[in-house]
Structure 1
Amino acid sequence: MLRLRCKAKNGTHLMQGLTHQSCVQELKHKVEELTGIPCDVQKIMVGYPPSSLDLRNGDATLNDYPIKSGDTLIVEEEKNKPKPPAVPAAAPIGVPKGPVLEDAVPTLQRRVVPADNSCLFTSVHYVVEGGVYEPTCAPEMRGLIAQIVASDPTAYCEAVLGKTNEEYCAWIRREDTWGGAIEVSILSKFYQCEICVVDTQTVRVDRFGEDAGYQKRVLLIYDGIHYDPLQKALAGSDAPPQTVFSTADDVTLAQALELADEARRKRQFTDVNRFALRCMVCQTGLVGQKEARQHAKDTGHTNFGEV
């Protein structure tokens, strides 16, 4: 039995009578009963920072979502949400129905962010905030990491950082520095979620926070110099994308690896251990990681291949 708290503007209510086998529609009806917010305009969030739940599939069970007993669900009314389309009248007997749209299923896709030296921070912010793109978030994210590192000089020592604690904090705040594994690990702990980075060169996944018991997972794709967030979205729909997944969702993780493999076969990666590179956008020849980074910064081109 789940014991959930429903927090809305009209107060906090204890929700009872739900189990992990209850369907999404039961949850929505319970929320409407307690808050008065109609099912079709509910925005239900969970976790910290709060992330929206994709509850469009009313037949799905709560076991498919990162909800556990004792959680507080934050409920808001989406006042600007368009009304659901009217259900068409049933076709007369003997008249065949129209074709079913095969693409009316959310698919996993890359959401491209600028190549401005802060792609990692922009990408992480995008996925943990449920698909909210905020191009000015990088200084805040860099400052957050610097504060965390400065607060624990023992854990974040020179042996870990490759710099003194003080030097690292000044370095990570600079606009021209790039984030990597250390920063992903710190952000995973801060946001209490597993961050999976799929690599397009090796077609492997690096899972940060894998052993921490987190219930939430977000996905990034990495081509050697550039990070982009991954999201599930419905083609042609204005519905918000899904960027937060359950750590038990191995299907979506496998789909992310398929995207990485497709990018590898198209040679959409950068091998920073070799020097002969070519921009696959403008065909400029480049030498080494330094030139590739500068080219990405100057042009916004992030698709590189080996020569």
Structure 2
Amino acid sequence: MRLRIRHAEGMATLSDVKQEDTVSMLKDAIRNAISLDATRDIQISGGYPPKPFNDMKMDLKNAGLRDGDTLNIKLVDTPTPQQQQPSSTTNDSTPSGTLKALKEGSVQTVNGVLQLRLIIPCFNVGYVLRRDTTISLELRQDKYMQWIQKPNSWGGAIELAIFSAYFGVEIDSIDVQTGRIDKFGEGSFNERVLIVYSGIHYDALALTPTIDSPPDFDQTRFSVGENSILDAAKQLVDGLRKSHKFTDIANFTLKCEQCSTGLKGEKGKVDLDQTVDIFN
């Protein structure tokens, strides 16, 4: 059985794993594959959304692993007495210095690289929920009323709240312009997904082993207790804001190509859209 391994330093492949092997044996094989010191512990998670394998005596067949599966590996350090002393951070935030901006839209974390994934604007929310770029079309047909089925209609807070309840996951939307985080389903679920709002549409955030890893290795669901991911997302968005990668919907200007009318902000666009609907 072949298993793909993704970790903070990159990717690896195990090609001689047997279904009757235990999770403990798998951990040893992974340590050897990534040249990890025997004193360092690791946490293995797999499936979708990723779930940790905590029973070291369970065989891989009963753990649900199959040939070709991808596993996420997280280093778990045993804190020393010095490390257990209170730090300057609060609310389980990431310690200073463990996050590093690599390039615009990418932040290095202890477990990989958090990246902005620009799929297709109307597919990004579906991507973080199910890693499926076709789900938005499905939801528009089955769960929305006539208005949202129009190709020029875009969802917002109401739709994100619906998605949160439907998929059983907290959705954290970070506004690039203000840095505000809107949490849909907060306190109701054990996992969260992250999206970035640019003022026009939502973009996906995904954790990947390296900055150039393909989307096949993306992780888009995270434990709500994993605050380091949220800290990395804030830093990533701070970089986008400094580069002005957002649209100020209250003050942007448009010009109608048909009537040459000058428009300001989202209200001007809405007024024009309503006028067009009347004459269509």
TM-score (normalised: structure 1): 0.51
Residue 229 (structure 2) aligns with: 252
Equivalent of 2:241, from 264, 287, 299? 264
Give CA deviations for 1:69-110 in whole Å, capped at 9, x if unaligned.
xxx96433217x7xxxxxxxxxxxxxxxxxxxx979611110
Residue 112 (structure 2) aligns with: 106
TM-score (normalised: structure 2): 0.56
Tell me the percent identity: 32
Give CA deviations for 1:214-253 in whole Å, capped at 9, x if unaligned.
1111000011011110011123445611111100011110
Contact kept in structure 2, 1:145 and 1:186, CA below 8 Å: no
Alignment of 1:127 onto 2:102: no
What is the total number of aligned residue pairs between the two structures?
A: 187
Paired letter, 1:218: V
Residues 290/254 of structure 1: CA separation in 2 closer, same or farther (3 Å cut):
same
Which runs of 5 or more structure 1 residues have no equivalent in the other structure? 1-27, 56-60, 63-71, 82-101, 147-168, 279-284, 294-307
In the TM superposition, 1:226-237 aligns within 5 A as: 226-233=201-208, 234-237=210-213
Give CA deviations for 1:84-137 in whole Å, capped at 9, x if unaligned.
xxxxxxxxxxxxxxxxxx97961111000224xxx2xx12221122xx352x33
2:161, 2:198 → 1: CA distance? 18
Residues 219/77 of structure 1: CA separation in 2 closer, same or farther (3 Å cut):
same
Residue 204 (structure 1) aligns with: 180
2:226, 2:254 → 1: CA distance? 36
Alignment of 1:179 onto 2:180: no
Contact kept in structure 2, 1:204 and 1:257, CA below 8 Å: no
- Higher mean Cα deviation, 177-186 or 228-237? 228-237
2:20, 2:263 → 1: CA distance? 57
Equivalent of 1:193, from 135, 149, 169? 169
Paired letter, 1:44: G
Give CA deviations for 1:157-177 in whole Å, capped at 9, x if unaligned.
xxxxxxxxxxxx111122221
Residues 74/224 of structure 1: CA separation in 2 closer, same or farther (3 Å cut):
farther
Residue 35 (structure 2) aligns with: none
1:290, 1:219 → 2: CA distance? 28
Residue 216 (structure 1) aligns with: 191
Alpha-carbon RMSD? 3.8
1:229, 1:177 → 2: CA distance? 19
Equivalent of 1:242, from 213, 219, 225? 219
Paired letter, 1:141: L
Alignment of 1:139 onto 2:137: yes
Q: Secondary structure at the match of 1:260?
A: helix
Residues 73/128 of structure 1: CA separation in 2 closer, same or farther (3 Å cut):
farther
Residue 90 (structure 2) aligns with: none
Residue 14 (structure 1) aligns with: none
Paired letter, 2:199: G
1:237, 1:139 → 2: CA distance? 27
2:143, 2:233 → 1: CA distance? 27
1:105, 1:182 → 2: CA distance? 32
Contact kept in structure 1, 2:125 and 2:202, CA below 8 Å: no
Q: Note the C-alpha offset of 1:277.
A: 7.2
Contact kept in structure 2, 1:216 and 1:246, CA below 8 Å: yes
Alignment of 1:44 onto 2:46: yes
